[in-house]
Amino acid sequence: MKQLLFAFYFIFCQIQLVGQNGYNLWLDYKKLDDKIIETEYSFISSIYLLNDNNDEILNTAKNILTDHLSTLLGKKIMSEKSQKTDQITLTINTDAVDINGEGFYITSTSNALKIEAKTNKGLLYGTYCLINKIHRKEKIKNININESPKIQNRILNHWDNIDRTIERGYAGFSIFNWHELPEYLDPRYEDYAKANASIGINGTVLTNVNANAIVLRADYLDKTAALANIFRKYGIKVYLTARFSAPIELGCLKTADPLDPQVRLWWKNKIDEIYQKIPDFGGFLVKANSEGQPGPQDYKRNHADGANMLAEPLKKYGGIVMWRAFVYSHEVNEDRFKQAYKEFVPLDGQFAENVLVQVKNGPIDFQPREPFHPMFGAMHKTPLILELQITKEYLGQGTHLVGLAKMYEAVLQSDTYVKGKGSTVAKIIDGSTHNYKITGIAGVANIGTAFNWTGNLFGQADWYAFGKLAWNPYLDASNIFKEWTAATFPNHDKKVAEVSNWLLEHSHEACVNYMAPIGLHHIMAEGHHFGPGPWVDSLFRADWTSVYYHKANKDSIGFDRKNTGTNALSQYHPEVQKLYENLSTCPDEFLLWFHRVPWTQQLKSGRNVWQELVLRYDQGVSKVTEMKSKWDSVKGLVDKETFRSVSDHLNIQSKEAQWWRDACLAYFQSRSQLPFPSETIPPPRDVDYYKSLNYPYSPGIKPKW
């Protein structure tokens, strides 16, 4: 009897979990108002799959339409076996022009609609496009849509460990329960796949870049295969992170030298084994010779040697290697800004054709704002993947509301000038500048076991935005925000959408201002990266400290990357150098990235550096206060739990924005010795107080006792 009661209790808890606001993400389909159904969608009565060959992806598309249209329209929508005039027809047309293999057409008349694609994946994406337009209450009569993804490999990178902890994860534990796989398949796996497919993501790297070789063991490959079997019907390939020393740790070899014949044979056999279990395995993501990870340089080989060793046996299966360029050496006492460029650019043209080099958006490490990485303007023969953060390691982690689409947009539209004006980062990674045969983009995932996946409800908007910009890197961030809010709050007062859009529009700039304005960077506390730490000055590596980057003293502040300093600017195209090296043209937001200037240096605003720094910190705090006020205005217009969750997180953000402002200004004033502007309230405590604050259990750090 007790077991029966426990079973009912478990089922009830699971139902409650799914029913809580936020679990269904932007796919929370509910019946539309009768008026809009009658006006816009009443002609839909059934669907017809012209090429019904029992393919699992086609079945997925068919089920999405029948299930969700039935919910949205409040009537049973059936899949018919014969074609009628007033229905949605799904058609595979291998001769379709003007679309690629994952593209689709949607066309309609007054009483019929057709989704057409070259492949089953194209029909799946067209299906989601249509269903989400209806969910957002958009008009579909007489529409004519022609869409294809501009980037081939659109991949989430999970920094999830086998023990279910997540490096830089702020939304609970990993959703992947390796211990219970392959026997127990959590229903959440399929919900995860649905969410990714709905925004065009077609790949997922299941494991942390700081890799564990055990994931390549035979029993763990069976576990991976179980996940691949679920994800496949949603058009999603699985990838794994390959630990470079796996031949030693798993194969009992004495070396992992990429030119050693035994090592190469071990990897060939392992890759053959993987494809026997997972025929559509995507390939490997590799972090090598970075932050203590093993790699080819351990054997006096280069990155191309290591990547090509893996690429060769993957090639016959259509697999790829994504080799990360986030490298900086213990032995090189040089500006970290420059190191990846110096290691990889000389190897351009030496990588196998199925190798892509994965480059973070900026040259340091996912800072609140960075200039684009100079490698995007320098690798003409090697496909580059752009790596973006969705998780917020340096942006308030899991509690701060920061709409990242604005940051993504700024990076994608940055001009490298590599082939003249207009050679944007977007045009580099979609292959149009250098005619890359393989293209890709990656986002470091922000999801976990939190009931709403991302912890902070608005963190869902960043996952959504990544997917949309991975499909089309030229989309407008503001329109993406509007889409997300329309899908997340579909049956709410229009004020909810207006406020949500406003929060997402203004939040990234606010965060930059209360954390790291006018080009400050890497000034967070050590280890966990939670909270301010501009005073951090004594760690194993100088470039892990904050003072290394701002070098603030009584006279000046900033990092000189011109030819009078580290000359990092020389890695950019001359037009980019020209923009940043001149104080009169360098945008204020990148001032301290490239210049060391006196505190009294006058800026374009007419204020000096110290005055501008104080003003920006104050503006950041004020904007968060305004964000709180805006959200308070929708009380009663959203359900209580959603309102409370967002409100509580904004309260945390407000408190921590003030902390960042006070701690940083107390420290920088102690360096400059300049008085606070008369209209400014000085920090309530001295810098020693802020230094004394200790958060040993912050996400990402182990306590010291």
The residues annotated as belonging to the active site are 291, 365, 393
Tokens of 309: 């060793």
Q: Quote the distance between the C-alpha of residue 61 and its chain's center.
A: 26
Residue carrying structure tokens 């970290």: 336
Q: How many CB atoms lie within 10 A of CB 262?
A: 12
As a whole number of angstroms, the distance between CA 570 and CA 425 comes to 18
Count of alpha carbons within 13 Å of 174, Cβ hemisphere only?
Answer: 21
CA atoms of 172 and 430, how far apart (whole Å): 33
SS3 label, residue 389:
strand
Residue with tokens 């390796």: 178
87: region left, alpha or beta (phi > 0 left; psi from -120 to 50 alpha):
beta
| Two tokens, residue 51 | 């090429």
Q: Which helix (H) or strand (E) holds 356?
A: strand 355-360
What whole-number distance in Å separates Cα of residue 666 and Cα of residue 384? 41
Amino acid at 240: L
463-474 burial code (b ≥16 CB/10 A, e <16): bbbbbbbbbbbe
The span from the CA of 290 to the CA of 303, in Å, is 11
Radius of gyration of the chain (CA): 26
Strand, coil or helix: what is 4?
A: helix
Return the H-helix or E-strand segment holding 454: none
How many Å apart are CA 155 and CA 231, to the nearest integer?
13
CA end-to-end span of the chain: 45
Peptide bond into 346 cis (omega under 30): no
What are the start-end ranges of the H helices in 373-493? 405-412, 425-429, 460-471, 477-488
Q: How many CB atoms lie within 10 A of CB 249?
A: 16
Instruction: Locate all alpha helices (DSSP H) within 147-296, ordered by sequence.
Output: 187-198, 218-232, 246-249, 261-277
- C-alpha–C-alpha distance, residues 151 and 214, integer Å: 31
Compute the C-alpha angle 170/173/175, nearest 5°. 115
Whole-number Å distance between alpha carbons of 115 and 94? 13
Q: CA 362 to CA 664: how far, in whole Å?
A: 23
